[in-house]
Structures are given as structure tokens and as C-alpha cells.
Structure 1
Amino acid sequence: MALSSRTKAPDEKLGSKKSRLVKVVIILILLALVYSAGWFAAANYATTKLEHAFDGDNPLASALDCPGMRMSGFPLHIGLNCNKVPINDRRNGITGSFGAFRSTAEIFRPGKIKWEIDGPAILQTSTGLAGSFQWESLRSSLSLGMNGIDSSATTVHTLQANLTDAVSGRVLRIDAADGRGRLQRDGEDLVGTARFSGMNFGQDDRNPNLPAMAAQIDLKLLGQAGALEIDHPEPIKLRGLSGEIRDLQIDMGQGRTIKATGPISIDNSTGLASGTLKLEISKVDAWRDLVIAAYPDTRDIAKLAAKGLKAAFLGQNSGQVTLQITNGVVVLGFIPLGNIPPI
């Protein structure tokens, strides 16, 4: 009886396996080509967006540059690298530069971007205030939404800052062991929070005998959420800015604390600050002794201020008082403290 089918010869089986293997290889090559094309298309899109951010139409209306811009990270990341970041903010009169910049976004986690920047940062303002900043590390992460940045979180370690007033020649030095900050939308408003620990201060060549300080702030800027847009960010104008200090805390240890809340604003024409802050001061006598130990030449002023505060607190060592700022003039209760220069 004749067979209706025959067994395949060994050569035919081998040929069939080779054919399937070739098909699999071709499919893998095509997938790799498609993925590579997609990666480079995404990198090109990211570069275009970042170039737009560096062309002056960014949240601070600053003209930023990215010398040596290059993309990296293939195949699982998209990274942008700059040799340094010069800044020329004509609107707010700020010029300067930062060190090398690096950012990365994971392909499989869209909307999440991490970046870091090297020091030093050198900034100069049109009012004569100059600053130099150095740090061990400064890193941030961004969460992107449909219209722009929903929130960002930043950490800095071992910060050293020098602020110089060109008019008086005075230099203020600020060091901090660690710092954390966050920006996020709140409807039409922009909310920023920051906390620093291990802070120390010095002025000119003096190092006052002050303990390390911890400070934190929760600040709302009214109507400024547009600064986090990507395609059409709305510049933040320092003059005409208004907001609210929702929580400001300064802690010098041993129960010496100051807390402040209240509205603040900057005049659109003069650049002078105004505001009414409610202060809660704990251990007035301890603050007095601390100031006298650090600045002996302020002994009489410190004693007078402490006496005035305790009178306002009905003889108590802690209480509440109003800090009134009117066109840059600062008055604590009925005690004049000085002037804030225009911005």
C-alpha cells in the first residue's frame, strides 16, 4: 500500500529550521531599527524642546546657553549634557554661569527626568549684588504632566555661598550641610518649600560665635504656575511679584526659634518690598545673649530690643509680634531694624 505522505529528509528539516531562524533574526533586526529610529526621534524632540528652553523663553525669561550640547544614554535613557550653562537674564538684571549640566530620562518611565549640575555658580545682579556658590552635589528630579512640570524636588549637599555688596563692599558667607527644596503647582499659583540644616554665617573676615542653624520656608507665589509650562512658559517678574509666606521657621537650638507667616509683595516700579509678618519668638533672653556673644558691639541694641519685645509680650519670655515692612523699611513691633534694598 502506498503512503499518502512521506517523512521529510534530514536536509529538508535543517533547511526549515534555518528559514525560521533567518525570519527571527530579520524580525529582531527590524525591531532594533524601529527602536533605534524611535530613540533618535525622541532625542531630537527632546533636544528641540531643550533648545527652546535655552533660547530666552523660559520661566525666568533668561537667555541660557548650553555649550557642547550632546545627547547620550542610548538605548535605555535619553540624556542631555552641557559643558557649562551661562545665564543672561536681561529682564531681572542677572548674569553669570553654572558648571557642567547633565540630565537623563528613562525610556520606560515617561514624565520622569533627573538632572544634576556642577559648581561653581557665579551670579551678578544689576543692583551690585554678586554671589558665588559651590557645592559637593546638586541634584533634582522632575515630574512632567500634560502641560508642563507638575513638581520638582532638589537636594544639595555641602553648600558654600559668598554674597558681596558692591556698594558697601561687605561680604556675607553662608554654609549649609544639606538642603532640600520642592516646587509644585497649586492651581494658578506656584508653591515652593525649602529646608536647610547645619547653616553657618560669617561677615567679611569675621566668624561670629553662632551655633549651626536649621531653617525652612513654605512660600506661595500668586499667579505664577505658568512658570512651569514647557511650550509657553510665563516669565516670573520679580518686580510686581506678590505672595504669602505660609511658614518660615528658624531654629538656633536650645529652644531658640522664630516662626513667621504673612503676605509679601514687591513694588512694580521701585522694586521695594512690603509685607506684614506675624512672628512667634521663643526665649527672647536666649536670643539676646546669643546676639551679644556673636556681636559684642550690639550689646546695647540687643538689650533694648529684648526689653521692648518682653514688654510687648506682657513680661513673658516668648510671644507674638508684628514685623512690618513698608517700602523696604523694616520695623519689629516699634523697633526699627533697617532697610531692605530694592530688587
Structure 2
Amino acid sequence: MASSSRADTSGVTRKLILLAVAIVVAVALYTGGWFYAASQLKERVAQELAASQQGMHAASCADLSVRGYPFRIGVFCDSVGLDDRPAGLSASFGALRSAAQVYRPGHGIIELDGPAQVRVTPDLAFDANWDLMRASVVAWTTGLDRASIAYDGLKGRLNAPSQGVSVGVSVTHGEKHVRQSGDALDVAASLDGLSLDLGNKTLPPFNMAVDMTIANAASWLSKEGPPAGVPLGTNAELRALTFDLGEGRTMTLSGPVSIGNDGYVSGTVDLTIEGIDLWRDRISETFPDAAKTVRRVASGLRALSGGQDRAVVKLNVQQGTVYLGPFAVAEIPPL
């Protein structure tokens, strides 16, 4: 009996030793594979960045590294730069951190720090910073399938001295989502607590959201990116463009719209507005030069709604001219 017991114990011990050896070997192989993949990724990214410096669209990553062992892998940069020479655009950002699960490399999470500076020739500049900015992307070899970005506490200023423009912007929370939908591109975005500083006045915070589908635009997420001239020549279905002043005072536009190659907007959209008088007063106060037109439009909306403070009307937009019934009520400048 004692001999049998010792034999059983010896067999269990050998199995435990073999299991431990197998675990050590598996960990060693996995570790070697991870670091090999990391070195290959770093080399590939470095090559792509170096090649971009010779082209029309350049990118840079200071102090490039690949981290995330053992279960993640991602690219890290101390700062990031972009240079789109044909568009005359350059941009710089703070540190970038990215991560993807090793078992799902096509789905990545990216965090980007400020401050950021974007410049467009001849003298347009946008400077911004934020508390947190995070993006999620799902990509294949041909490009992105979908992407989302969210940020908190964004503050910035747009300056264009030659145009006499200086506008400050702050957003409590913002999001944008894009995804391929067949040949089309679905786009949804929202801005909470959006406030604009126009220099001589600051607009009270409001919320804004858009939900739309752009026809034949799924290829914009490919490696080639959007075609030159976007958004000119695009057609979209505007499911909802909403402005919200709070307490139920909203303005919503929906319907098909298009932007011609000349930059003018055309389309037929439904306008639903709650709180006509408040909107009249708010817009007139912000844009005094348009006060007379705004009062006239508000009177027309009240007449069409039977004197109520809520209206649902159809607007026709032809080459940038907005018609309420037979009357032209506004002009949209070319984009």
C-alpha cells in the first residue's frame, strides 16, 4: 500500500511539473511574440511617418514607442504633428496614447492631450485645449469601419485677422460618431454647453446636435480619405439638426439637403420651433443687424401657427436663399 501511495504521489508531482513547464514555455513564447510584434509595429509606423515627410500629407510622432504588455499593444507619442500641404494646413497636438487588445487589434482606443494649434494659410488659426479627449476606432486593412470621439472641457479660439474674425468657443461635452452604412456615411454629433465669445458679447450656453446620412461617402473613411473639395458636391439626408436653449425651447431642422459645386446649399427641410418669441429675442440680441428680418420671420411663423408659440413649417432653400412660403427670409453664404 505504501509503495502504491508513493507511486501515485510521484505521478501527480510529475504532472504538476509538466504543467508548470508548459505554462513557463507558453508565457515565454507569448512574451517573445508580443515584443516581436511590438518591434514590427514600431518599425512600420516609423517607416510610414518617414515616408509621409516626402509626400503632400505629412505626420510626425515625437519619441515614438510601443507599449501595453502583456494584454494590450499601442503606439505612444510625446507630441503629434500633421501637415497637409495641398490644403495649406498644419496642426500640432500634445501627447498621444493608443491601445488595442492583442486578441482584437482592429479595435483601438486613443487618447490625445492638448494643447492643440491648427493653422490654415494665409492667417487662420485655431488654438484649443481640453480636459479629456478620447477616440474609439474600428479599422480594417482598407481603412476605418467606424469611429467615435468624445471630449470634455474644450476651450479654444478661432482667429482670422485678415477677415476680422476672432471667436472663442467652449464646450462642456462633445461627441462625434461616424460609420459606414453601405455606400453612405452615417454621422452623428452633439455639443453640450456650447458657448461662443464674439468679442463684444458672449452667447449664453446652448446644446446642439446633428444626425445625418451623407450619400456615397463611405469611402471617406478609406485610406484615401475624403475627396478634394468636400463638402462641395455632397447630398445628405438631415434626420435632425437641433438647437436647444433649455426648458423645451428647441429648433429642429430635417430633410434632404445638397451642397453644389459652387458651395451653395439647396434643399427642402421641415422646421419645428418651440418658443418663437424667445428665439426671436435671442437672435435679435446677438445679431442686431438681422433684428428686423428676424422679427418679420417670427411674425410669419406665428401667423402660420395660428398665433401659437410653436410652429411646424416647411422651408425651401434654393441656391442659398431660404424661402418661407413665397417669401425669401434669409441667405446662406456659400461654403
TM-score relative to the length of structure 2: 0.80
1:275 to 250, 253, 266: 266
**Structure 2: 5+ residue stretches without partners:** none
Give the aligned partner of residue 218 of structure 1.
211
Q: Counterparts in 2 of 1:155-304, with a 5 A limit?
A: 155-208=150-203, 210=204, 212-229=205-222, 232-237=223-228, 238=230, 239-268=232-261, 270=262, 272-278=263-269, 279-294=271-286, 299-304=291-296
1:110-156 residue CA offsets vs partner (Å, 9 max, x unmatched): 43311110112211224754322221100122234575433222211
Within 1, Cα distance between the matches of 2:134 and 2:183?
26
Give the aligned partner of residue 108 of structure 2.
113
**CA spacing shift, 1:335–1:130, aligned 2, 3 Å:** farther
Q: CA contact under 8 A between 1:224 and 1:236: conserved in structure 2?
A: no
What is the DSSP-based 3-state SS (H/G/I as helix, E as strand, rest coil) of the residue aligned with 1:34? helix
Q: CA contact under 8 A between 2:265 and 2:334: conserved in structure 1?
A: no
**Displacement after TM superposition at 1:35 (Å):** 0.9
Q: CA contact under 8 A between 2:176 and 2:187: conserved in structure 1?
A: yes
Q: Percent of counterpart pairs with the same letter?
A: 26
Q: CA contact under 8 A between 1:88 and 1:96: conserved in structure 2?
A: yes
What is the DSSP-based 3-state SS (H/G/I as helix, E as strand, rest coil) of the residue aligned with 1:340? coil
Within 1, Cα distance between the matches of 2:31 and 2:71?
10
What is the DSSP-based 3-state SS (H/G/I as helix, E as strand, rest coil) of the residue aligned with 2:35? helix
**Displacement after TM superposition at 1:205 (Å):** 3.9
RMSD: 3.5
Paired residue type of 1:120: P
Q: Does structure 1 residue 149 correspond to structure 2 residue 140?
A: no
Paired residue type of 1:102: R
Paired residue type of 2:85: R
Paired residue type of 1:75: P
What is the DSSP-based 3-state SS (H/G/I as helix, E as strand, rest coil) of the residue aligned with 2:163? coil
Give the aligned partner of residue 37 of structure 1.
32
Within 1, Cα distance between the matches of 2:214 and 2:43?
29
Aligned residues: 324
**CA spacing shift, 1:19–1:304, aligned 2, 3 Å:** closer
Within 1, Cα distance between the matches of 2:294 and 2:241?
22
Paired residue type of 1:285: D
1:22-76 residue CA offsets vs partner (Å, 9 max, x unmatched): 766654443233212321333245446655775559xxx8422222211011222
**Displacement after TM superposition at 1:213 (Å):** 0.9
Q: Counterparts in 2 of 1:120-131, with a 5 A limit?
A: 120-126=115-121, 128-131=123-126
1:237-265 residue CA offsets vs partner (Å, 9 max, x unmatched): 31444433222111112332111123444
Q: CA contact under 8 A between 1:250 and 1:258: conserved in structure 2?
A: yes
Paired residue type of 2:186: V
What is the DSSP-based 3-state SS (H/G/I as helix, E as strand, rest coil) of the residue aligned with 2:162? coil
Within 1, Cα distance between the matches of 2:59 and 2:264?
28
**CA spacing shift, 1:56–1:215, aligned 2, 3 Å:** farther
Give the aligned partner of residue 4 of structure 1.
none
**CA spacing shift, 1:64–1:172, aligned 2, 3 Å:** same
TM-score relative to the length of structure 1: 0.79
Bigger fraction of residues in strand: 2
Within 2, Cα distance between the matches of 1:62 and 1:325?
36
Within 1, Cα distance between the matches of 2:48 and 2:147?
16
Q: Does structure 1 residue 70 correspond to structure 2 residue 65?
A: yes
**Structure 1: 5+ residue stretches without partners:** 1-6
Within 1, Cα distance between the matches of 2:97 and 2:318?
41
Within 2, Cα distance between the matches of 1:14 and 1:292?
90
